[in-house]
Chains A and B, each alone.
Chain A
Amino acid sequence: MTPQSPRTLFDKLWQAHVVHEEPETPTLLYIDLHLIHEVTSPQAFEGLRRRGLRVRRPERTVATVDHSIPTKRGPIQDALAAGQISTLERNAREFGIALYGTDHPQRGIVHIIGPELGLTQPGMTIVCGDSHTSTHGAFGALAFGIGTSEVEHVFASQCLLQQKPHSCEVRIEGKLSPGVGAKDVILALLARIGIGGGTGSVFEYTGPVVRSFSMEERMTLCNMSIEGGARAGMIAPDDTTYAYLAGREFAPAAFDGAVKKWGTYRTDDGARYDTTITLDVTDLGPMVTFGTNPGMGAQITAAVPDPSAIGDASQRASLQKALEYMGLRPGSRLSGHPIDVVFIGSCTNARINDLRQAAMVMRGKKVAPGVRALVVPGSYAVKRQAEAEGLDRVFVEAGAEWREPGCSMCIAMNGDEVPAGKYAVSTSNRNFEGRQGKGSRTFLSSPFTAAASAVTGRLTDVRSML
């Protein structure tokens, strides 16, 4: 390809980060920002020690604790979690890495604080030992999750060897109805393409709906790209992006110059994607999942699908098994299904706009008897903002629990769990078997739907309450 030929956003970012290329070998890519947390980093630090290596660019690495940290203040009861957190503290000290530790006022979920601090910027390559690193693509960055071996590679070299993925345009057309948002859009996309539909590719979300989204909504969209199997999801930066970043702690000092450069991070007219998917969202209603992967979703007004209507034996068996696990009867209505737990949180939906939406629905209402509702802000910054707006009081007065930031019940590593056999409506990203606790049954949804369901005790179409 000549430099003059039109390029996609992904091509531009990829090419700008090539350190070395040779035939029959993955490309050596430079990594601008490396985010780490307590769960997937200890073995990588240990690898460095074993080889006598340093972290090459400690100032390009930022650490926080989020996965196994309790969301209640006080000493950590779980010795293993405490050990993991103290190990990260020790490693950060030893290798000279900035740590947003347990009591740091800017601590939060790694994919929430990166953007909040202005660390996440257009044009960057960003990696983290966490599959939801795709979140940062909302800023026009190439951001993807890596394993612990690769965490060690980035520590040692600030580079990664990568095979170049395909580019896939995901064009969102139409106009969203009130009560329907980014989470519903991504769940609808996943229902359409399945959880392997994006394997081997990088999504670029385009179209008028995406342009109208706030940064928070864009992050929700990009966050769940990995649930479609795509390594990364990205959105070209625009004025919404620049307005979000302006004034952030780590935003470039020469901001106007940066904006000028960031403006070039867009797909050129005439550039070709390897594939394009178009999704029209005009008739889209609130989405919920009914199965045990994020691709098993439907509009809340729909009925639970019937496995016997599926031709492919393997898919039929999957659906059958999923419905058995979920305890759902084919043909029964999703809306109205009783629930036990509501979780509003996670790197998908624990930003201030998510909490505002939930509070809008719950204001002046009560969580239904027998339902436990947990609201976990994504960061201390989100928590402070929510408290300044009085959202915490809305939740507490409704009977919900207002917690300290962390991944919490999304991954159930910190003691926040859905009991076996119980139904949770969750704003998180994965409804895998046991994901929210052994035997937990998850309905993924938007914050609107989760809040509406908390109030009624049943899966509820929020449009009846707005």
Chain B
Amino acid sequence: MNGNVTGRGGEAFRTVTSRVAVFPQENVDTDQIIPARFLKIIDKAGVGTHLFEDLRRAPDGSLKSDFPLNMKENEGAAILLAGRNFGCGSSREHAPWALVGAGFRAVISTSFADIFKNNALKNGLLPVVVDAATWSALAGVASTGGQVRVDLRGQDVQWQGGKVSFGIDSFARACLLNGTDELGYILGHENEIAEYERRQERGVQS
């Protein structure tokens, strides 16, 4: 199957090693990730500057010192450790665009909303599902400023003194590793698509 994954060349995802920013709140919806007023764009430029805008900023526009992503120690973090059911709500792909735009390459949580997970995978942002014990261990690592390594080829998360494997749909993994996207694969099935349409037009759709 992997050999069939062709398409637009993107940046291949292998590993990311970084400090971890922890945002433990559960059920963070995509309206929090990127508020709707920043969706009035026709491209993807600049969307990262508004990541978590209303959580990051006080009503007067100043940065809230207690918001995790505003803390000095989280500057440059490429891994976000997020609470349960991250990315719920709206289907806006602006959410992963904003996370990627702000420098994130992986989000680790105990669960993700379906549409967000799909959207993230299409943008080189790796959603990693871990169990609650691993989540706590990673939060511990983050609190000491330790580095965490997410390895997509090995399908594991490693830190000083720990390592756990994670599951990912093998197709999405191949796309990320090769820096390709799904459309090339889909268009490679033109004959079957055309055949399906012929069947549908003949009204023999099962």
Chain A interface (Cβ < 8 Å from any Cβ of B): 15-16, 19-20, 22-26, 28, 30, 39-40, 42-43, 46, 51, 56-57, 67-68, 78, 80-81, 83-84, 87, 129-131, 145-150, 152-153, 156-161, 163, 165, 195-196, 199-200, 226-227, 229, 231, 293, 314-315, 317-318, 321, 411-413, 420, 430, 432-435, 438-439
- B1-36 contacts to A (CB < 8 Å): 1, 8, 24-27, 29, 31-32, 35-36
CB closest residue in chain A, given B189? A20
Residue from B43, B85, B90 having most chain A Cβ neighbours under 10 A: B90
Q: Does B123 contact A (CB under 8 A)?
A: yes
CB neighbours (8 Å) of B151 from chain A are none
The CA of A167 and the CA of B34, in the complex, are separated in Å by 31
- Whether the Cβ atoms of B39 and A413 lie closer than 8 Å is yes
CB neighbours (8 Å) of B93 from chain A are 40, 43, 129, 147-149
A-contact bits for B109-120, CB 8 A (1 contact / 0 none): 001011100110
A-contact bits for B83-110, CB 8 A (1 contact / 0 none): 1110011111100100000000000000
CB neighbours (8 Å) of B56 from chain A are none
- Whether the Cβ atoms of B114 and A84 lie closer than 8 Å is no
**Partner pick for A131 among B26, B91, B111, B205, CB 8 A cutoff:** B91
- Whether the Cβ atoms of A195 and B40 lie closer than 8 Å is no
- Whether the Cβ atoms of A158 and B88 lie closer than 8 Å is no
Nearest CB in chain A: distance from B129 CB, A: 11
Q: Given A146-B115, A439-B59, A195–B36 Cβ distance below 8 Å?
A: no
CB neighbours (8 Å) of B143 from chain A are none
Nearest CB in chain B: distance from A264 CB, A: 10
CB neighbours (8 Å) of B31 from chain A are 430, 432-435
The CA of A364 and the CA of B26, in the complex, are separated in Å by 45
* Number of A-B residue pairs having CB atoms within 8 Å of each other in the complex: 181
**Partner pick for A438 among B54, B182, B193, CB 8 A cutoff:** B54
- Whether the Cβ atoms of B32 and A433 lie closer than 8 Å is yes
Residue from B44, B183, B190, B206 having most chain A Cβ neighbours under 10 A: B183
Q: Does B133 contact A (CB under 8 A)?
A: no
CB neighbours (8 Å) of A199 from chain B are 85, 111, 113-114
Q: Does B67 contact A (CB under 8 A)?
A: no
- Whether the Cβ atoms of A147 and B91 lie closer than 8 Å is yes
- Whether the Cβ atoms of B1 and A195 lie closer than 8 Å is no
Contacts A25-B170, A83-B42, A146-B91 aside, 16 further interface pairs with beta carbons under 8 A come to: A22-B1, A26-B169, A28-B193, A42-B43, A81-B40, A130-B90, A147-B91, A148-B93, A148-B119, A149-B122, A149-B182, A150-B122, A156-B187, A157-B183, A159-B189, A293-B29
The CA of A68 and the CA of B40, in the complex, are separated in Å by 7
The CA of A23 and the CA of B169, in the complex, are separated in Å by 11
The CA of A153 and the CA of B93, in the complex, are separated in Å by 14
The CA of A363 and the CA of B8, in the complex, are separated in Å by 59
- Whether the Cβ atoms of A420 and B59 lie closer than 8 Å is yes
Listed A/B pairs (17) with beta-carbon separation below 8 Å = A15-B206, A30-B197, A39-B92, A84-B40, A146-B91, A146-B118, A147-B122, A165-B114, A199-B113, A231-B115, A318-B26, A318-B27, A413-B40, A420-B59, A430-B90, A432-B89, A433-B54
A-contact bits for B165-204, CB 8 A (1 contact / 0 none): 0000111000000000111011101101100110010000
**Partner pick for B206 among A16, A22, A195, A433, CB 8 A cutoff:** A16
CB neighbours (8 Å) of B115 from chain A are 131, 145-147, 231
CB closest residue in chain B, given A161? B182
Residue from B88, B91, B123, B205 having most chain A Cβ neighbours under 10 A: B91
Nearest CB in chain A: distance from B14 CB, A: 20
Nearest CB in chain B: distance from A132 CB, A: 9
- Whether the Cβ atoms of A42 and B42 lie closer than 8 Å is yes
- Whether the Cβ atoms of A318 and B91 lie closer than 8 Å is no
- Whether the Cβ atoms of B114 and A314 lie closer than 8 Å is no
Q: Given A20-B192, A199-B114, A156–B29 Cβ distance below 8 Å?
A: no
- Whether the Cβ atoms of B186 and A39 lie closer than 8 Å is no
CB neighbours (8 Å) of B36 from chain A are 411-413, 435
Q: Given A28-B189, A40-B91, A430-B89, A149–B54 Cβ distance below 8 Å?
A: no
The CA of A6 and the CA of B182, in the complex, are separated in Å by 33
- Whether the Cβ atoms of B37 and A153 lie closer than 8 Å is no
**Partner pick for A156 among B26, B122, B186, CB 8 A cutoff:** B186
Nearest CB in chain A: distance from B184 CB, A: 9
- Whether the Cβ atoms of A159 and B186 lie closer than 8 Å is yes
- B48-101 contacts to A (CB < 8 Å): 54-55, 59, 83-85, 88-93, 96
**Partner pick for B171 among A26, A42, A438, CB 8 A cutoff:** A26
The CA of A150 and the CA of B122, in the complex, are separated in Å by 9
Q: Which 6 A-B pairs have the closest CB atoms?
A: A147-B119, A147-B93, A80-B40, A42-B42, A196-B85, A145-B91
**Partner pick for A43 among B26, B44, B54, B182, CB 8 A cutoff:** B44
CB closest residue in chain A, given B83? A314
- Whether the Cβ atoms of B32 and A314 lie closer than 8 Å is no
- Whether the Cβ atoms of B193 and A159 lie closer than 8 Å is yes
CB neighbours (8 Å) of A196 from chain B are 27, 84-85, 88, 111, 113
CB neighbours (8 Å) of A81 from chain B are 40
The CA of A432 and the CA of B31, in the complex, are separated in Å by 7
Residue from A80, A158, A229, A412 having most chain B Cβ neighbours under 10 A: A229
Q: Given A84-B42, A321-B25, A438–B35 Cβ distance below 8 Å?
A: yes
CB neighbours (8 Å) of A67 from chain B are 39
CB neighbours (8 Å) of A433 from chain B are 31-32, 54-55
